[in-house]
Amino acid sequence: MNCRDVRALLSCYLDGEVDDTVRQSIEAHLAGCAPCKSEFEAISKTVRMIRRLQDLDPGKKPEPFAG
């Protein structure tokens, strides 16, 4: 797997939407490729921040019939 493949799959990887084989290839690549690793860390930070904001937003509660 090359850098381009890894970067294309990073968001799916963060969402847990890749096969075990693919995940292992990504992890192996990240372990040996500093540029992709920092890209991964930047995306993962953003994703976590967005998820936290969605959790805190009272307009996005999962119960549609509340009230």
What is the Cα–Cα distance from 19 to 2, expressed in whole angstroms? 17
What is the Cα–Cα distance from 33 to 31, expressed in whole angstroms? 6
Does 1 bind Zn ion (CB under 5 A)? Our answer is no
Among 3, 8, 28, 49, binds Zn ion (CB under 5 A): 3
Does 42 bind Zn ion (CB under 5 A)? Our answer is no
Among 10, 26, 36, 40, binds Zn ion (CB under 5 A): 36
Q: Which is nearer to Zn ion, 3 or 28 (CB)?
A: 3
